[in-house]
A = this chain, B = another copy of it.
Amino acid sequence: MKKHNFNAGPSILPEVVYEKTARAILDFNGTGLSILSISHRSKEFDEVMAQADSLLRELLDIPDNYKIIFIGGGASTHFFEVPANFLNTKAGYVNTGVWAKKAIKEAKRYGQTEVVASSEDRNFTYIPKGFDIPADLDYLHITTNNTIYGTEYTADLDSPVPVIADMSSDILSRPRDVSKYAMIYGGAQKNLAPAGVTFAIIREDMLDRIQRDLPTMVDYRTHVTNNSMFNTPPVFAIYALTETLNWLKSIGGVPEIYRRNQEKAALLYDEIDRNPLFVGTATEEDRSLMNICFVMAEGYEELAPEFLEFAKSQGMVGIKGHRLVGGFRASCYNALPKESVEALVACMQEFARKHGK
């Protein structure tokens, strides 16, 4: 049976990326070598790296005064590297859930860390808005999309201090004005690549603010200066990332994927709002296009395991909600086809019919 991959991450990638990476493992671009076994100092890999940089730059419309690095680890690596590099006196964080909290925890080790806004009061079901941003912060850190709670910043923030954003789970899914951010980073394993590589887009002037004597691998200048080649980069993951960017460009870039993501999300949110058995968990205006969270409606709670089983029997993968929210989560990343959302909607409708609704 056809599987519909709603995994929260690592998650679905475009079919063409599977085809190209599988082929490149057997023979990379006619070199007679596997992509797993080429030198990261070869001209073939230089080209992959250069393409990754130029494609991301083009697709996100990244201004020239930003540097891009692709390094190993995960967003969790940047959680401590961001304050290690940039927290000299005081940093501000917006607490929108688990990932934001993890970033806050690491920052505290490096200096004063102020939570300037939080949605913890309502289990992170919304994005705080209209809060004051102290002008003396080294930076303000936000998490643009919150996978566990299904909330997302729908607009870029205006801020008197540099904004640093974890965009692990919504990079390239909707338009963002990069010039409003001092740094954007994330793990690549949602919209960009398989797990094992991170991206960071850093405004050049930020690098002049680094004051600590940091381990070479932790200092962002190391990776900027060496074009992400200070040490052996995760070659395969970067190649897959490049092919994902090529796919995104081929279908029309961010404008087209945004249209598709809106369409997919509307299909599913409409069903959630219409179907008497289900109810969404996130505040409507902050609903994520990427992670769509819902639970059984009041009075139907006991049907949750049955729905999960039924959905599974219809080929749905990864729709169990995070334990902190419960219920269901359909992650609808860039590469998820509309057909998968339609299949899930059909599933919900049939389940309602089975229960006389």
Query: Contacts A72-B74, A75-B231 given: A196-B8 contact, CB under 8 Å?
Result: no
A interface secondary structure, majority: loop
Q: Is A65 interfacial (CB 8 A cutoff)?
A: no
Are A5 and B195 within 8 A (Cβ)?
A: no
Cross-chain contact of A215 among B34, B84, B195, B232 (Cβ < 8 A) = B84
The contact of A234 among B2, B40, B195, by CB within 8 Å, is B195
A131 CB to closest chain B CB (Å) equals: 27
Q: Which of A8, A9, A26, A34 lies at the interface centre, i.e. has the most chain B CB atoms within 10 A of its CB?
A: A34
**Oligomeric state, in number of copies?**
2
A7 CB contact (under 8 Å) in B1, B39, B84: B39
Cβ contact of A231, chosen from B25, B76, B194, B232, cutoff 8 A: B76
Interfacial chain B residues near A33, Cβ < 8 Å: 3, 5, 317
Cβ contacts A143-182/B at 8 Å (1 or 0 each): 0000000000000000000000000000000000000000
Annotate A1-45 by CB proximity to B: 1 below 8 A, 0 otherwise. Answer: 111010111111100011101110110000111111111100000
With a cutoff of 8 Å between Cβ atoms, the chain B residues found around residue A3 in the complex are 31-33
Q: Given A197-B196, A235-B196, are A34 and B9 neighbors across the interface (CB < 8 Å)?
A: no
Bitwise interface map of A from 182 to 208 toward B, beta carbon under 8 Å scored 1, else 0:
000001010000111100000000000
List 10 extra interface pairs beyond A12-B37, A195-B236, A234-B237, CB under 8 A. A10-B39, A18-B26, A72-B196, A74-B231, A74-B232, A80-B215, A105-B216, A189-B232, A196-B196, A236-B236
Interface residues of A (CB under 8 A from B): 1-3, 5, 7-13, 17-19, 21-23, 25-26, 31-40, 72-77, 79-80, 84, 102, 105-106, 109, 187, 189, 194-197, 213, 215-218, 230-237, 240, 315, 317-318
A selection of 19 A-B contacts at a CB cut-off of 8 Å is A1-B32, A3-B33, A5-B37, A10-B38, A10-B232, A11-B37, A12-B37, A22-B22, A22-B25, A22-B26, A37-B194, A73-B217, A73-B231, A80-B217, A105-B216, A195-B233, A195-B234, A195-B236, A236-B236
